[in-house]
Structure 1
Amino acid sequence: MGEMKWYIVRAVSGQEKKAKNYLETELGRHNLTDYVPQVLIPVEKVFEMRNGKKRVRERNLYPGYIVIQAELGHGEVDHIITSTPGVIGFLGDKDKKDSANNRPIPLQMSEVNRILGIVDEQEQELTATLDKPYVIGELVKVIDGPFNGFSGNVDEVFEERKKLSVVVKIFGRSQPVELSYTQVEKEV
């Protein structure tokens, strides 16, 4: 068995999941999963507020691309990958081909680690990032925790920790409270 390397495959934008499923099915049908052990779509989890409700959704980090680990050049592996519905071809097919073997050039490990590192960080993180971070002075409503139902103004934003200092009125006195992004929503 040769050396496994990472490649980027171009897919029809918006159909990455469908192309990934087709690819995995075809490789399994031809008993080639040993030569393509991983097919990934790098995604990140983001919170969004819709109609006053907090939702978590996944967003593609690189729309139109699928990352695969493969040993190319073994039998039909190259052909099956490029002929799968929804797959356009390998990234760099036209301009970066290895002239000796006429095959796509693999990613460098530093690039792979950066892509996989982003995905790992996202999965390890308990709180996801908001699409629109908060600004100082903005009016927010607490939707979770002991101060649920209180409203207040953002006093400080701790972007790296995904937390806010919010000044709320408790028993008629202004009191700063530290809350995570997921515990508040913007007042309309």
Structure 2
Amino acid sequence: MANESFEREWYALQTYSGYENKVKRDLEQRALSMGMEDYIFRVLVPEETKVDESKIDKNTGKPKEYQEQIFPGYVLVEMVMTDQSWYIVRNTQNVTGFVGSQGAGSKPAPLLPEEMAGILRMMNLSIRVSDLEVNIGDTVRIIEGAFANMTGNVSEIDYEKHKLKVDIEMFGRETSAELDFDQVEEF
């Protein structure tokens, strides 16, 4: 298994335009069915929320919001690059290749961490992933940010965005803080 990395890194996949969400679903399903959840982690179709001022939502009276792809024809995958994970990803239907691959069976170069950090921030997703295992009502200690060293109870969990809401008591009142998984630890 030459050229294998055991580090979790982000890679960009080229797809047929219009098939990005299908590739995401198919790749997530293949990772599950082939037992590769420890090698293929997050699959993203980079999108951002746009507002169309010319269309008004009849229910809210506000301009309609919609999702627009940031990089049409591309899907991002967070994975550990092994021969097997590389094979599964590149042979997923509608994937045309990896960005940064020189061809002839060579493994692709991962995206730079600062590139990925910007994309994830734009999508309002967590940059780092934690193996945090908590449930609503559990007590956690905040280890990073404005509320560092405080404890609170988990009130909401968003597994897709890797965020949670923690209720903290401050000055005799309960305050809710939205935090990334990696900003807290189990208490």
TM-score range, shorter chain: 0.5 to 0.7
Sequence identity percentage: 27
Indicate the RMSD between aligned Cα atoms, in angstroms: 2.2
User: How far is the alpha carbon of 1:94 from its aligned partner?
Assistant: 3.0
Distance 1:108 1:12 in 2: 24
Structure-2-length-normalised TM-score: 0.56
- DSSP-derived class of the 1:37 partner: strand
Q: Please tell me the residue identity of whatever aligns with 1:4.
A: R
Residue in structure 2 matched with residue 48 of structure 1 by the alignment: 52
Select which of 49, 67, 87 maps to 1:79.
87
- Please list every run of 5 or more consecutive structure 1 residues that lacks an aligned counterpart in the other structure: 122-188
Q: Please tell me the residue identity of whatever aligns with 2:93.
A: P
Q: Please tell me the residue identity of whatever aligns with 1:19.
A: V
Q: Please tell me the residue identity of whatever aligns with 2:99.
A: L
Distance 1:39 1:15 in 2: 14
Distance 2:121 2:55 in 1: 33
Residue in structure 2 matched with residue 166 of structure 1 by the alignment: none
**Aligned 1:55-74 pairs, distance under 5 A:** 55-74=64-83
Q: Is 1:109 paired with 2:117?
A: no
User: How far is the alpha carbon of 1:52 from its aligned partner?
Assistant: 5.1
Distance 2:33 2:121 in 1: 31
Structure-1-length-normalised TM-score: 0.56
Contact 2:56–2:64 (8 Å) recurs in 1: no
Q: Please tell me the residue identity of whatever aligns with 2:97.
A: G
- Please list every run of 5 or more consecutive structure 2 residues that lacks an aligned counterpart in the other structure: 58-62, 126-187
Select which of 16, 22, 26 maps to 2:26.
22
